[in-house]
Each structure stands twice: as C-alpha cells, then as structure tokens.
Amino acid sequence: MSTFPKYLLQNQRKIPGAPAIREKRLGIWHTLSWGQLADEVRVVAAALLLEGVQRGDRVALLGENRPRLFAAMAAVQWIGGVVMPLFTDTNAQEITSPIQSAGIAFVFAENQEQVDKLLSLMPQCPSLRRVFFDDDLGMRHYRQTQLLSYEALMAKGRAHLTELSARLDTELELGNGKDPAALFFTSGTTGPALGVMHTHEALVGRVQSAIKAEGLSSDDTSLAYLPPAWLAHHVFAYAIPMVSGSCVCCPESSETMLNDMREMGPTIFLAPPRVLEALRTQVSIRINNTGGFKRSIYDSCMALAKSVGARVLSGEPVSTADRLMHQLSDAVICGPLRDVLGLSRVRRAYCAGESIGPDLLLFYRALGIDLKQVYGSTEMGLFATLQAKDPGLSSSLGRPAPGLELNLSAEGEVLFRAPGHFPGYYQDAESTLLRTDAQGWFHTGDMGWLDQQGELHLVGRKQDIGSLNNGGVFAPKLLENKLKFSIYINEAMVLGKDRDAVCALVDIDSEAVGNWADKQGLSYTGFSDLVALDDVYRLIGEVISEKNAELAKDPNLAHAQIHRFVLLPKRLEPDDGEVTRMRKVRREVMGQRFASLTQALYDGSTVGQFDAPVRYEDGSAGQVSATVMIGSARVLAAPTLHKAA
C-alpha cells in the first residue's frame, strides 16, 4: 500500500458500495462509490497511456473540485505520472511560468474559461500539446486539435481497456512510495512561488499519522471547497479520503457552499483563517440585525459558552451548575448556530495556512467545535506538528509528526528535518541552498519557541519580527489577528519595525461595515465612498481603541498599541498582487505600493496619497488614486522600555 492508486483499489475491494465522492449538480446530490470511482480511474488511465503520458510526466489540473478532477489525479498517478494542481482564479500569465518550468504537455481543464487561458498561452508553452476539458458549455465551435473532451477520453479508454489491462496492472505494481506524486507551489508570500515535489510516501506518511492521532475513519465526511492547488486542501480532500476510505463532498458552487455544507454535514472540516473569520462575521451580522432581546440572550449565552464551553470541550472539571447552564445555552444558542454554519456533525475542525488569534479560537471552541490549529508548509507537508487530543485554548501547535525532527536555530527560527521528504525546490538549486543547511535542516522562516513538553509555539515570520525604537518587541501577526477578530476588519497590516510607534493599513469588511452604515442611515455609492465616510473612520477608530485597551493590560504588549491608521480605498486582491491566491498578505508588495501612505502615517500628516494598480474583471489594467484621511486611535499609558545594549 505505497501509492494512492493502490489505496483506491483497496477501497474498491473492501467497501465497493460506500460513497467516495458526492457532488451537487443542479440542486441534486450525485454519489460515486469507491467501486465506480476505481473503474473510472482505470479507464482514464488506459486512455492516458494511449495519449502518450509516461511515467514521470507532470500533468496539470486547472479546475474547481469535481469528481472528474479527483479521478484524473488518481489516473495520472496510476501510470506513474505527477499531478500539478493550479489555482483556477489565476490569469494566463501567472500559470505560464509553472507550465514552462514543469514541461507540462497535458492539462485537465474544467470549462471554457480555463481552456481559453491555456489556448492563449500555448505560443509561449511549446511543450503543451493536449487539453482535456470537462464542461463543454460554450465550446460547440472550438475546433483546435489540441482539445479533447473528458467524455471522448473515456470513450477512448473503454475501447482499448481489454488490450491495455495487463499493462495497467504492470504500471500499478511498478509504483512505489519513493515515486513523486504531486507538485505544489509555495504561496509566494515573501517572494516568487517555488515548486515542491512530494512523494507518495511523504504524503501517505503524514496522513497515516493524522488518521491514527485524530481517530479518523471511513465513516467520516469532508468538504472539498478550497483551491485544489493548496497542499492542505489536497491532503483533506484527496489524500485522507484515499487512505481512510472516507467520503468527500463537492458543493455546487462557492455561492451555495454554506447551504450545501448544511445538507451534507461534514464530520471533518478544514478552513484557513479567512473562512473562519467570514463565518463568524456572518453570525455577527445576523445577530446585530435582530432585536435587543434576542441580542441580549446571544450575548449572555456566548459569555457563558466562552467561560465554560471551552473547558467542557477540553474535559476540564466544571461545576454541576455551570454544566447545566452550559447545556441550556447550547440548546438555545450554540446548537442552532452550529446548524446554521453547517457544523453540527463536525467531530474534528482544523485551521491551516496561518496562525489564528486566541479570540477566534475561543469563539469556535465555545460553540462546541473542536477546532485545532494545524502547522505545516508546502515543503514539509501538512501535519508537520500534531496537537494534543484536546489542546484547549493553548497556543501550542504540538510535537513533530512521526518521521520529522524539530529544532530551533540560535535566534529562534523553526527548523525541520525529514530525510527524503524534501528533496529541494523543483529545478531551483539556488533557492534550495538558501533554505537548507549542510545538516539537512529546512529553515521555515517562522520564529517560535518550545515549551517544557517540547511543543511548538509560533511568534511570526522571521523577516517581519523586530523591535520598536522604544525597545519593545514588534510581532505584527499577533496584532493583526487581534484587529481581524473585529467583524468590521477584513485584513490589516501593521507597521512599526524600527519605528517610534505602531500604525496600521486597514482593509475593511465591506459587507459588515456596509450593513452597519445602512443601519445608521449613511449614504454611499460604492466601496471607495464607504471607506471615506467620517463615521466609518470613527467606527474603525473605536475598534482599534478597544484593542489598544486590551494590549495595555498586558505588560509585554502595552508598548505595541496602534497609534494611527488608514482605511484603504480598494480591496486587497490577488489579481493586483497585494495578497496571494490564498489571501495571505504580501508584506513586501504592500510596503512598496503604499509607501506614500506609510510616510503620511509617520510624518504627522492628516491625509495621505493612495496610488495603486488595479486589474478589472475583463482583464484590463488601471490605476486607483485617491487622497485618504489618516485616523487616530486612543492609546493608554504604557510602561517605559529601554533598548537592550
């Protein structure tokens, strides 16, 4: 059992009728059993052999989560190929480099939109010779010889399945754990995205450790709604179901995801911080729109849930009276909220991609959702560390997973070592040398510390952490997490390294702030008008002042209170380069692009000049320019700190 296709056949033998993939199409759920999935994969693998796919070839995947995407991945790996998922919301220019560097000849594309991208970049990618597409809507008049529908590919495979049967069996047996399984690209938060090849052995090993530690089984159900190009999602939507025999469900669309999730009731749920924040914002908006009596009940029950619920979930001792009151609040508020969020059946929930603040973690654990933070990287794979079974509200990320060694450098950088698990960046020896040392340790770029139990705690990115001119430590991620817990703030980037004070660039949550503005009777015509309102500045100023009051109570953080801020007059978008496709802030890009705003924040100006490029939906580029206000927040007295000699 060394490769994913071998696990697929094991599931076909053991649980042939059990659901492998469910997909919602036109409002109806369709189920593909493990037996049906294995049969389809075998047919597609036969067709790929006829198309000329050979062992070691890289095959790209460009589409949303669909059963045929998973079948294509398994078929490619069956005959020794390597899958390379790409982000579907990228433009043609962004995917040109990965296709060129990996020498991609074959791509599975979902629909006309993705096919058009590939056709436009073919002159720059001479290796690309065949595109298999699933949805033929709008493609009736396409006559390019490079195109072949998924249905035609299946028909080709069925016609020659008998004659290729022996070869398929041979190819399957040739596969072993040392073979490369998938090629993923890093997020590109701090520089160009780099390719990382993962073997079957590395991915299966991580998954087996997680299944054993978390008690996952074939009875579980997970949700495939995140980008297939994200390694964490690949682990939860493909690797874990393959190894455990569990079911994965594909929502009809991103717009229907919440309703679809309520219908299928996942027992395993993975989300990046932005999704968890968005779900909590939806709850808060609904509560804010209710009457005062309902709001008071919600506030009382949530206060009780936060003080008692998290302890109950972690198995800590709780008095009988508190337990009864908690059960009542769970029946009145927390239980219905879990139903609304589609999380009523969730046994295990995980947050990956970035660390989250304790406030957000407390919110979900108070609701009775066993939310854990998962630490990993594209290089080391997901589940680089495994938390204890009931971590409570601890900031610990757990101990290293089996097969991984964890260490800290002299300055506190987190290092991992796993023989054979990270051979280096794909065709980039220079970057590999920069991130690995002579002893084989991979330098993650994250700063952290180990507690007495040997469990890892993160502080932030190495290049972002520094100190203020008053000597106080500056760790921006902690401050940004506090700001983003507010429903009115979508994203924030705080500044302060080697400066006299902390300031912030704020991207508001347009839905939450717009809802608030409507209730206040404020008039505005769009996003840029909304962020320019004096009342909105006062609202965000109050939010930041409240966070400053919390910081002032902590002697270690009182010096890091936020003095001034600016509301960005445009949303931070991946197409404009300010955030990655997983919506992580590119701090270097932000720093360069908004340098004039940064200067205004620190030179005492009351307004600043905003200039930024923007890419519109039709692909055209433009420029946004505006004069924006500089806001101020209340700062409480902080203890005097002195610079270390």
List, for residues 350-396, the tens digit of each pLDDT value: 999 888 888 888 899 888 898 999 999 999 888 899 887 666 667 78
- Evaluate whether 394-461 and 466-632 have a shared fold: no
What is the per-residue pLDDT across 199-213, written as a single tens digit (0 to 9) for each? 999 999 999 999 999
What is the per-residue pLDDT across 390-402, written as a single tens digit (0 to 9) for each? 666 677 898 998 8
* pLDDT of 391: 66
* pLDDT of 181: 96
CATH of segment(s) 394-461: 2.30.38.10
* pLDDT of 644: 44
Query: Is the pLDDT at 127 greater than 80, yes or no?
Result: yes
What is the per-residue pLDDT across 218-235, written as a single tens digit (0 to 9) for each? 999 999 999 999 999 999
Query: Is the pLDDT at 523 greater than 80, yes or no?
Result: yes
- The percentage of the chain sitting over the pLDDT mark of 90, rounded to a whole number, equals 74
* pLDDT of 312: 78
Helices (H), 451-565: 476-484, 510-520, 527-531, 534-552
What number of CA atoms fall less than 13 Å from residue 21's CA on the CB side? 26
Using alpha carbons, select from 209, 196, 263, 265 the residue that is nearest to residue 239: 209
* pLDDT of 645: 39
How confident is residue 449, by pLDDT bands cut at 50, 70 and 90? very high
Selected from 2.30.30.110, 3.40.50.300, 1.20.120.160, 3.40.50.12780, the CATH number assigned to the domain covering 4-207 reads 3.40.50.12780
User: In a 10 Å sphere around its CB, with 0-12 CB exposed, 13-18 middle and 19+ buried, how is residue 243 labelled?
Assistant: buried
What is the per-residue pLDDT across 283-310, written as a single tens digit (0 to 9) for each? 888 888 887 788 888 888 888 888 887 7
How confident is residue 169, by pLDDT bands cut at 50, 70 and 90? very high
CA–CA dist 28, 133 (Å, integer):
22
- Average pLDDT of span 462-477: 92
The 3-state secondary structure of 292-340 reads: HHHHHHHHHHHHHHHHHHHHHHCCCCCCHHHHHHHHHHHHHHHHHHHHH
CATH of segment(s) 466-632: 3.30.300.30
Query: Is the pLDDT at 456 greater than 90, yes or no?
Result: yes
Greater confidence, 640 or 97? 97
Using alpha carbons, select from 81, 89, 80 the residue that is nearest to residue 105: 81
Beta strand 621-629 with 607-615 is antiparallel
User: In a 10 Å sphere around its CB, with 0-12 CB exposed, 13-18 middle and 19+ buried, how is residue 429 labelled?
Assistant: exposed
Q: What is the mean pLDDT of the chain?
A: 92
Domain boundaries, the chain: 4-207, 394-461, 466-632
Beta bridge partners of 197: 183
